[in-house]
């Protein structure tokens, strides 16, 4: 009997999971704050996606397509991928969870880097595996450190590319070198949630096509503005996807989520315009912060990581932003206590960010 109450003790590892803290969305005293804390598309979803969701609402009493057939076909058509090698999930988080449940457990290790996405550790602990963290080099994934961290017990290696919360990026050549080092009894998972913001990058799809032990995960939450609907997907060997599908609940994606995602991916004019504005504004924000003496790594995502002299200065900057009605993310849980992650907002939002930072630095 559990000492905490009349229920069994949880499985090993579960009580080591820290409760996930999402980015703030409200500020006391500010009715409409500028929310730059969760890497969302500041323009929201495509109007065509909104219309599709409204139209689909009349069929909410019907169960959705359990095979996600139309969405997988649309994803495959856009990216030149076999739909039979695609699985859809409640965000890419659920696909990550499927991978851990299917391939890791007690006695196994799940490898990721020191500033890696929180869900890698959470999902490893969820299944009783041991999370193993390797260092990064100057806020960038260190391929040699990752390779050195692989042991006979390693079952999954998670690499976010572009990385969150740093925004840094590994080339195809670097990813290939890592894939070459992955043993056959281990999976390399390329988390490409921000792939659309990198010109010419396939998110690791070619590696996942060529190699049975490489998997790519993607999301509709970032570029496509569907974070509230929770839609993600994974791509890998057909046999591997069939294994994951055995873990997937039959109706994990709602009718509205499927309709919205299908319409969003079809509206590439809206998507590419969002990318164009994001990348131009990202460059402007990066230059502006660097001009104020703030360190910013080159980012290939829809956010930047601003690094201050110390944690106290970052905390003071965060508080100053809040006083101006601006919400950013303090990535303390990602072991960057002296940083602030700032989503790239609308052009007018970024004007406010730079004005606030100039005032904070005494440059006004």
Q: What is the CATH number of the domain that holds 340?
A: 3.90.1150.10
Structure tokens at 301: 């995502």
- Which tens digit of pLDDT belongs to each residue from 94-137? 999 999 999 999 999 999 999 999 999 999 999 999 999 999 99
76-93 confidence digits (pLDDT tens): 999 999 999 999 999 999
pLDDT in tens, 180-230: 999 999 999 999 999 999 999 999 999 999 999 999 999 999 999 999 999
276 and 231 share a domain? Answer: no
The predicted pLDDT at position 310 comes to 96
Predicted structure pTM score: 0.91
- The 10 Å Cβ neighbour count of residue 193 is 27
What is the domain extent for residue 82? 47-267
Question: In this structure, are residues 205 and 175 in contact, taking their beta carbons and an 8 Å threshold?
Answer: no
Regarding whether 311 and 289 lie in a shared domain, the answer is: yes
> What is the predicted pLDDT for the residue at 257?
97
273-288 per-position pLDDT tens digit: 999 999 999 999 999 9
**pLDDT tens-digit readout, 298-340:** 999 999 999 999 999 999 999 999 999 999 999 998 999 999 9
193 and 76 co-located in one domain: yes
End of a domain among 267, 287, 311? 267
Please report whether residue 7 resides in a domain: no
> How many separate domains does the chain show?
2
306 shares its domain with 354:
yes
Q: What is the pLDDT of residues 344-363, one digit of tens each?
A: 999 999 999 999 999 999 86
Q: How far apart are CA 219 and CA 41, in angstroms?
A: 12
In this predicted structure, the answer to whether residue 169 has a pLDDT above a threshold of 80 is: yes
Q: Kindly tell me if the per-residue pLDDT of 163 is higher than 90.
A: yes
Considering the chain, what is the average pLDDT of its residues?
Answer: 94
Residues 25-38 have a mean pLDDT of 81
Q: What is the CATH number of the domain that holds 236?
A: 3.40.640.10
Residues 79 and 63 in one domain: yes
Question: For position 349, what pLDDT does the model report?
Answer: 97
Q: Check whether 235 has a pLDDT greater than 90.
A: yes
Tell me which long-range contacts 119-125 makes (C-beta under 8 A, separation of at least 24).
119/93, 120/96, 120/158, 121/17, 122/17, 122/18, 122/20, 123/96, 123/97, 123/99, 124/13, 124/100, 124/156, 125/13, 125/14, 125/16, 125/17
Nearest by Cα to 350 from 309, 321, 313, 319:
321
Q: Is residue 9 part of a domain?
A: no
Residue 126: inside a domain, yes or no?
A: yes
1 within a domain of the structure (yes/no): no
Whether residues 55 and 40 fall in one domain: no
Residue 347 falls inside a structural domain: yes
Mean pLDDT check: name the lowest of 29-38, 112-121, 199-208, 259-268: 29-38
* 38 and 97 co-located in one domain: no
Same-domain pairing of 236 and 310: no
pLDDT at 1: 42
Residue 54 has pLDDT above 90, yes or no: yes
Q: Domain check: are 154 and 211 in the same one? A: yes
| pLDDT (0 to 100) of residue 20 | 65
* Co-location of 32 and 53 in the same domain: no
In the block, residue with structure tokens 């900057």: 317
pLDDT above 90: percentage of residues in the chain: 90
């Amino acid at each position: 009997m559990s000492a905490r109450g009349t229920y069994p003790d949880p499985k090993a590892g579960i009580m080591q999971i820290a409760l996930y803290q999402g980015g703030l969305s409200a500020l006391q005293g500010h009715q409409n704050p500028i929310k730059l804390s969760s890497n969302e598309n500041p323009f929201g979803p495509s109007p065509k996606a909104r219309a599709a969701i409204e139209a689909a609402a009349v069929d909410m009493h019907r169960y959705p397509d359990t095979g996600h057939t139309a969405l997988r076909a649309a994803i495959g058509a856009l990216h030149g991928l076999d739909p039979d090698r695609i699985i859809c999930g409640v965000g890419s988080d659920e696909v990550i969870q499927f991978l851990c449940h299917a391939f890791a457990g007690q006695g196994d290790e799940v490898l990721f880097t020191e500033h890696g996405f929180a869900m890698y550790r959470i999902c490893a602990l969820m299944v009783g595996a041991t999370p193993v963290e390797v260092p990064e080099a100057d806020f960038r994934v260190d391929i040699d450190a990752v390779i050195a961290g692989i042991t006979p017990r390693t079952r999954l290696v998670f690499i976010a590319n572009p990385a969150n919360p740093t925004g840094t990026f590994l080339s195809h050549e670097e990813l290939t070198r890592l894939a070459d080092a992955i043993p056959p009894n281990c999976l390399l998972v390329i988390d490409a949630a921000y792939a659309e913001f990198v010109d010419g990058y396939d998110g690791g799809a070619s590696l996942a096509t060529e190699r049975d032990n490489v998997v790519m995960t993607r999301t509709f939450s970032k570029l496509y503005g569907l974070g509230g609907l929770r839609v993600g997907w994974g791509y890998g060997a057909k046999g591997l996807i069939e294994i994951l599908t055995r873990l997937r609940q039959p109706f994990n994606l709602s009718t509205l989520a499927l309709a919205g995602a299908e319409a969003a991916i079809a509206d590439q004019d809206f998507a590419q315009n969002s990318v164009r504005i994001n990348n131009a504004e990202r460059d402007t924000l990066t230059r502006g912060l660097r001009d104020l003496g703030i360190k910013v790594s080159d980012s290939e995502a829809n956010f930047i990581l601003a690094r201050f002299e110390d944690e106290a200065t970052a905390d003071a900057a965060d508080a100053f932003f809040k006083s101006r009605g601006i919400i950013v993310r303090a990535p303390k849980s990602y072991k960057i206590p002296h940083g602030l992650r700032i989503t790239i907002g609308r052009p007018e939002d970024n004007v406010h960010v730079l004005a606030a930072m100039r005032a904070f630095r005494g440059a006004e």
